[in-house]
Amino acid sequence: MNLLDVVDKFAHLSPQSPVFVEVRPVSGHRSEISWAEFQDRTDRIADRLLQEGIRKHHKVFLLGRNSVRWLEVYFGVLKTGAWAVPLNFRFNDEDLRYCAQVAEPSAFFFDEEYAERVKGLGGDLDTVRFYSVIGPDESRNVVPLEELVRTGNPGPIRVDRSDEDECALYFTSGTTGAPKPVLIRHKNLMSVAATETVNHGFKASDRFLMMPPMYHLAIGHLLGVMLSGGCSVLLTEKISPPYIVETVAKEGVTMVFLLVPWAFDLLNAFDRKEIQMERYDLRPWRRTFMGAQSIPPVVVQRLKQYFPHMEYDTVYGLSETTGPGIIHLGSENEHKVGAIGKPSLFWDAKIVSETGGEVGRGEVGEIIVKGPGVMKGYYKNPELTQTVIQDGWLYTGDLGKTDEEGFIFLVDRKKDLIISGGENIFPVELEEVILGHPQVHDVAVIGAKDDRLGEIVVAVIQPKAGETPTEQEIALFCEQQLPRYKRPRKILFDEVPRSPTGKIEKPKLRAKYAEKSLST
């Protein structure tokens, strides 16, 4: 069974129930689509693609923002047996050319706002035989998506598919070099859906607020809701505290996934009384879960102050595991906030040393995982695949440790480790401490070259709106919280850049601050 079978199932069992709602708060647009409508439209898109010669194992580019139409294309492509290749709309032209060189796409769907970019790529897309625009503009020399729906034949798509078949190619964000192509099978997508459903107890009555970009495998949250027969509410155009709260209240949202920056924005808006909570009925909001980085306990503690009866969970995953939830905390373990949890259903995890041996409790090593969501590999790169998948275990590149109860704590990314004067310093630990300062909105800790110590600790701090902390105030706070060798030698005030999935873009900060000595 795969996700296409899930669509068929609920189109039969709950044909008129909504599967997706799309909310665009800036323009005031709202639309929804039922399971039966979604099945029909994706069948028609798939049929028309087959008419255009798109076949099994062909690659189909999808460049666009979150929308119901984006999802229709995604599932329509899967029904043909071709591979869906979602693209990060923040990729520059060089990234897009690289993706085209690797994937050799046969078709290209794109939002209308990217039409000129696609046209400008020209000969770099010489393998593309079919273009379609997701939008109302029919004047361009490409086929509008609505024409595919109008001219495609209804009814089941007769294409042989196996759960072992490849179905999607996801390019990683590219923040540490060229984007890596992660090849995913149907069984991988089904695995992440099942894992999310079990972890969060999704039910058919649930309404999930989907905000992370779906070109990323954070789409696994949404797939879990689909597996339960529930409804996902897509908040698009702009994500801000007022729009989040308004959407939760108006749509009766029961589940929300928050990235850490969004959580801080919400909490700060509540603290400043910019949002009058008593004006909104937020009672249906029963669970929040967070991931994509180590979760500072202070965030959850503050969240529980405003929502004392809300369930909370932490999730951990990566693109190479088909997304989230392979390790999770569990709402019954809120007393362990700070940990990412224990391996989820179907998954196993270990902490190993550089030589591959399992380390003891409390010792830091690399997190490795094994389970049905592990990617098939990096497309066209067997050498790199063999370095990260060994004997079925995926080496995540994340450093972690376990406590006496077996809970796993994320220590840091292996590549972000700072070695100063021979001491290992983990930036995440420092970031969690500095976030406890009442004037700090966000912080990133990096290492900068130093002739004497090798590296020194640099803290880049983004103050809360209206706050102007001084270096001396932050230094005194760190002196009270951290041993001398871990304290930042340099404190800088700047915006902390984060990716659309909430991860701190440390390569940008290193390029700006750490490529030269910052020693005092």
Give the pLDDT of the chain (520 residues) as one tens digit per residue.
Answer: 899 999 999 999 999 999 999 999 998 999 999 999 999 999 999 999 999 999 999 999 999 999 999 999 999 999 999 999 999 888 888 889 999 999 999 999 999 999 888 988 987 899 999 999 997 665 567 899 999 999 999 989 989 989 999 999 999 864 445 789 999 999 999 999 999 999 999 999 999 999 999 998 889 999 999 999 999 999 998 889 999 999 999 999 999 999 888 998 899 899 989 998 889 999 999 999 998 777 888 889 999 999 999 999 999 999 999 999 999 999 999 999 989 999 999 999 999 998 889 999 999 999 999 999 999 999 999 999 999 999 999 999 899 999 999 999 988 778 888 888 767 788 888 998 999 999 999 999 998 887 677 788 999 999 998 899 999 999 999 999 888 888 999 999 999 998 777 778 888 888 888 664 454 4
Strand 83-87 relative to strand 29-34: parallel, antiparallel, unpaired?
Answer: unpaired
Question: In whole angstroms, what is the distance from residue 55 CA to residue 103 CA?
Answer: 15
- CA-nearest of 408, 405, 384, 409 to 394 is 384
Name all domains of the chain by residue range, CATH numbers in brackets: 30-185 (3.40.50.980), 417-514 (3.30.300.30)
- CA-nearest of 428, 355, 424, 431 to 395 is 355
- CA-nearest of 402, 380, 519, 395 to 456 is 519
- Over residues 321-358, the pLDDT tens digits come to 999 999 999 999 999 998 999 999 999 999 999 888 99
Whose structure tokens read 């912080």?
443
* E-state strands within 348-453: 348-352, 365-370, 377-378, 389-390, 393-402, 408-413, 418-420, 423-425, 440-450
**Contact status, residue 519 vs residue 451, Cβ threshold 8 Å:** yes
- CA-nearest of 173, 428, 102 to 320 is 173
- Over residues 57-68, the pLDDT tens digits come to 999 999 999 999
Question: In whole angstroms, what is the distance from residue 220 CA to residue 265 CA?
Answer: 24
| pLDDT score, position 137 | 61
| pLDDT score, position 237 | 82
**Torsion angle (degrees, nearest 10) of CA 263, 266, 271, 275:** -160
- Within 8 A by CB and 6+ apart from 101, the residues are 124
**Contact status, residue 147 vs residue 133, Cβ threshold 8 Å:** no
